[in-house]
Amino acid sequence: MRPACGQRVEIMSNQTENQAEATLYKPHAFHVDEWQTLDAEAELPAAGAYFLGLDRALELLEAGKPAFRLGVIVDAGEDVTRIGDHLDKIEAVAVNFPAFADGRAFSSSRLLRERYDYKGEVRATGAYILDQMPMLVRCGVDAFDVQDPNVRAGLERGEWPDVTNYYQPTGNDEQLVNNPRPWLRRSFG
């Protein structure tokens, strides 16, 4: 379940030592991340959950379904539509922010959810900030790899930025505030 706008999120009070060090945030709690990232030259494992870069993942998918649980890392500037035909074999997609001002991961997330109806995990990684998280959730992100100590501290304090008015549509049919230009509403589909 995704947090509603303005909803304060609470971290589980009975965290274990592993949870206190966990970096994967799914609404309401930090979790230990079972996924690992393989670099371009690493040997492919027989089992487990692994993220691969887009090009290597596509090579593997075109050869057949991998023996392990596959996640794909989509960097800014990479075309997420390249994996559109393979999403049934991909359990997670990590959209990467090289800088907080680079919003291409927002578009990738929306395309996955709205055009492809992707049901797997969409995870934000990289240099996003706490204030962007509610908008990322609106675009389809449902997990966050939290590496920034400021983002982590804010989440641990139960902070969730309050965004009550939206001017751009998403695929969830929510009401927009005083949209004076309905002709601007366009769908990706």
All structural domains of the chain with their residue ranges: 17-184
Both tokens of residue 51? Answer: 């993220």
Task: Quote the mean pLDDT of the chain.
Answer: 82
- Categorize the per-residue pLDDT at 185 as very low, low, confident or very high, splitting at 50, 70 and 90: low
Both tokens of residue 22? Answer: 């966990």
29-40 pLDDT per residue, tens = 999 999 999 988
Model-level pTM greater than 0.85? Answer: no
Residue-level pLDDT at 65 = 83
**Whether pLDDT at 142 is above 50:** yes
Both tokens of residue 91? Answer: 């359990």
143-159 pLDDT per residue, tens = 999 999 999 999 999 98
Chain position carrying tokens 């001002």: 101
**Fold entry, domain 17-184:** TIM Barrel (3.20.20)
Average pLDDT of 128-150? 93
Average pLDDT of 62-83? 94
**Whether pLDDT at 79 is above 90:** yes
